[in-house]
Amino acid sequence: MNGPRYSISRRLTRMNFLVSGTALVVAGLTLTAYDVATLRGSLARDLSTTAQIVGANSVSAIVFEDKQTAERTLAALEAAPNVVYAGIYRTGGELFAEYRRDPGVPSAPVPVVQADQSETYVFTGSELQLARRITFDAEETGIVFVRSDLSDMAGHLTRNLAIMSVVLVLALIAAFFVGRVSQRGISGPMMDLAETARRVSQDHRYSIRAAPVSEPTHEISVLVGAFNDMLERIEQHDQQVQRAQNELETRVRERTTELAAANKELEAFSYSVSHDLRAPLRHVSGFTTLLQDRAGPILDDQCRRYVTTIAEAAQRMGRLIDDLLSFSRTSRTNLSKRKISLSDLVREAQNEVTIASAGREIGWTIPENLPDVWVDPALMRQVLVNLLSNAMKYSGTRERSEIEVGSTTQGAELIVFVKDNGVGFDMQYAHKLFGVFQRLHQQDEFEGTGIGLANVQRIIHRHQGRVWAESALNQGATFYFSLPLKES
């Protein structure tokens, strides 16, 4: 909630001030403009009368070239304090006589009186200048030029502005007190409503209610009533949500406990079954070998194929049990993270997988300066061995296998990829790649147990990373996994 200076009461007061003040200022300026126009017209009429009197009294002086009489006539203007200069000019524009209230008054050009006019006047910045024809027997004998200052008009305007300012201040004071009284019925309930909203927002207590307004038909009363109704519905909904949340948390705890127990039993069962299968499998493999050694010479070709098939199946079963045990251990093994060079891990995995690739032509593209990573070295080595073995296996049909390892940084992740030029796969089945026992190729095409990539996914997920792949049939495949850049 904003500070008190933004309260609705003060906003309403400022609005009242603004409206009242604007109305008074506009009215005052309008009256002042009208007053100025009226004063200018009055000053022009008064100065025209003065010029007319001077012109009438100067006709004989001009006709008889009596300059002293003309000057005495002009000297009578000392009784008009606003007149700062007056002059009588002959018809040709030659100065005949003049009057200056102050010798320092500068000269000014005489306004031109048009042929169809008897006089003309002009307002300058600080003066009113008027020129009037002097006629005798309907003929022009000269021009009287009078200049008057505007001190009376300035004083009048100053007084008007002072009065207007006093009226404005008094009106604003009255508007303030009247507004405060009239606003109590609006700002009081609104501020109470705002305070109630603040308390509800901060404390999340939906049982709070705003105080009702005394006038039930008032718009503010309708607003307060609607606000209280809304709080009541929110309170009821919140209680329902809280009950549902408590029930959900109870169910989640129960299901989590059951799931943890089930997972523990499943892992124990998987480990036990895989471990217990080893003994009979060793018997099968051992007695198959003994049978080949003892009875091999007397068996026909078909029987020898049968015995060979049994031995190979036992070997595949052994590899499957090993992979299941590895998969089971992956979820139970505690992570022991440390900072290690990814380049060292890749080289170790490369050395391990190339032992079984004697005689194959393989092109390796591995940068020398792969970044350091925070991982469990043993588990991450297992990830790289699985991915490199996978790349070698599915590129085995090529004359030359091309395997590339690289990395890039995206946001807060390090992206590592293993790319090959093998047979690839159809992307519509990509979602099956990392499932247990999921294979996209037949067993007779490529050997495998279908657990290696599932193991890769489990290890990477335990490192808070992601795994995915991109490929196209007969165009190779690229497997990606991400790791956090910072230790987690």
Domain's final residue, options 284, 304, 332: 332
Q: Stretch 348-356: mean pLDDT, rounded?
A: 83
Identify whether 478 is part of a domain. Answer: yes
Q: What does DSSP say about strands 362-365 and 401-410: parallel, antiparallel, or unpaired? A: parallel
**CATH number of the domain where residue 403 is located:** 3.30.565.10
Task: Kindly provide the residue ranges of all beta strands, DSSP E only, lying in 284-438, ordered along the sequence.
Answer: 338-341, 362-365, 372-375, 401-410, 413-420
Rounded Cα gap, residues 87 and 95, in angstroms: 7
Let me know whether 144 and 225 are in one domain.
no
Number of domains in the chain: 3
Q: What is the pLDDT of residue 269?
A: 66
Number of neighbouring beta carbons within 10 Å of residue 346: 24
Let me know whether 155 and 8 are in one domain.
yes
Identify whether 201 is part of a domain. Answer: no
Phi, psi at residue 206, to the nearest 5°?
Answer: -85, 5
Of 268 and 75, the structure prediction assigns the larger pLDDT to 75
Let me know whether 362 and 325 are in one domain.
no
Whether the pLDDT of residue 368 is over 50: the answer is yes
Q: Which residue in this structure is represented by tokens 């009950």?
A: 243
> Which structure tokens are listed for 272?
């036990």
Rounded Cα gap, residues 173 and 184, in angstroms: 17
Domain's final residue, options 284, 310, 332: 332
CB 99, CB 81: distance < 8 Å: no
Domain's final residue, options 107, 135, 166: 166
CB 231, CB 197: distance < 8 Å: no
Whether the pLDDT of residue 180 is over 70: the answer is no
Q: Where are the alpha helices (DSSP H) in 333-367?
A: 342-354
Rounded Cα gap, residues 485 and 182, in angstroms: 65
Q: Which stretch of 169-173, 191-195, 440-444 has the lowest confidence by average pLDDT?
A: 440-444
Q: Enumerate residues 6+ apart whose C-beta is below 8 A from 486.
A: 374, 412
Let me know whether 422 and 464 are in one domain.
yes
Q: What is the overall mean pLDDT for the chain?
A: 80
- Expressed as residue numbers, the domain containing 38 is 4-166
**CATH number of the domain where residue 233 is located:** 1.10.287.130
Q: What does DSSP say about strands 338-341 and 372-375: parallel, antiparallel, or unpaired? A: antiparallel
Let me know whether 311 and 343 are in one domain.
no
Let me know whether 144 and 24 are in one domain.
yes
Whether the pLDDT of residue 448 is over 70: the answer is no
Q: Is the pTM of this model over 0.85?
A: no
Identify whether 198 is part of a domain. Answer: no
Let me know whether 351 and 326 are in one domain.
no
Identify whether 73 is part of a domain. Answer: yes
Let me know whether 282 and 339 are in one domain.
no
Let me know whether 227 and 243 are in one domain.
yes
CA distances to 111, 112, 300, 389 from 117, rounded to whole Å, are: 12, 10, 149, 116
CA distances to 31, 49, 123, 330 from 37, rounded to whole Å, are: 10, 19, 12, 100
Among 40-44, 325-329, 359-363, the range with the most confident prediction by mean pLDDT is 40-44
Q: Enumerate residues 6+ apart whose C-beta is below 8 A from 289.
A: 311
CA distances to 36, 131, 352 from 152, rounded to whole Å, are: 11, 21, 112
Q: Enumerate residues 6+ apart whose C-beta is below 8 A from 376.
A: 333, 335, 336, 337, 459, 463
Let me know whether 155 and 233 are in one domain.
no
Angle at 463 between CA 460 and CA 464, to 5 degrees: 95
Let me know whether 343 and 468 are in one domain.
yes
pLDDT band at 482 (very low <50, low <70, confident <90, very high): very high
Whether the pLDDT of residue 70 is over 90: the answer is no
pLDDT tens digit string along 85-96? 999 998 888 888
pLDDT band at 325 (very low <50, low <70, confident <90, very high): low
Identify whether 358 is part of a domain. Answer: yes
Q: Enumerate residues 6+ apart whose C-beta is below 8 A from 36.
A: 153, 157
Of 110 and 277, the structure prediction assigns the larger pLDDT to 110
Q: How many residues does the chain have?
A: 488
Identify whether 301 is part of a domain. Answer: yes
**CATH number of the domain where residue 56 is located:** 3.30.450.20
Rounded Cα gap, residues 333 and 400, in angstroms: 38
Helix H or strand E segment including 86: strand 83-90
Identify whether 374 is part of a domain. Answer: yes
Q: Pick the closest to residue 283 from 257, 318, 254 (CA basis).
A: 318
Among 8-17, 126-135, 307-316, the range with the most confident prediction by mean pLDDT is 126-135
Let me know whether 322 and 224 are in one domain.
yes
Identify whether 402 is part of a domain. Answer: yes
> Which structure tokens are listed for 217?
């038909």
Q: What is the pLDDT of residue 446?
A: 46
pLDDT tens digit string along 101-115? 888 888 888 888 888
